[in-house]
Amino acid sequence: MKAGVPLTQSFEIVADSLDNPSMKDLVLKIKADIEAGGTFASSLRKHPRYFDDLFCSLVESGEQSGALETMLERVATYKEKK
């Protein structure tokens, strides 16, 4: 996002770099859901095995406030410390 890459294109880049087929499929499903008009948070909520409520709520908050990039950085820092 900092590089000015659109969110959906970011998912393509990530998917192309993944060797794990199930993770690649997950990323592409999220991308497709967003392209179909869903929000990032609602797309993540469809995959509770990978994204907990706190994570989804923080993403949703970032989307609503226009600070998604900042919120994702905070979530990444939180997950790294965990």
pLDDT tens-digit profile of 40-76? Answer: 999 999 999 999 999 999 999 999 999 999 999 988 8
What pLDDT, in 10s, does the model give residues 12-26? 999 999 999 999 999
pLDDT of residue 1: 54
User: For the whole model, what pTM was predicted?
Assistant: 0.85
pLDDT of residue 2: 58
Instruction: Enter the tokens of residue 5.
Output: 């890459």
Tell me how far apart the alpha carbons of residues 33 and 31 are, in angstroms, rounded to a whole number: 5
CATH code linked to domain 7-81:
1.20.81.30
Give the SS3 label for residue 7.
helix
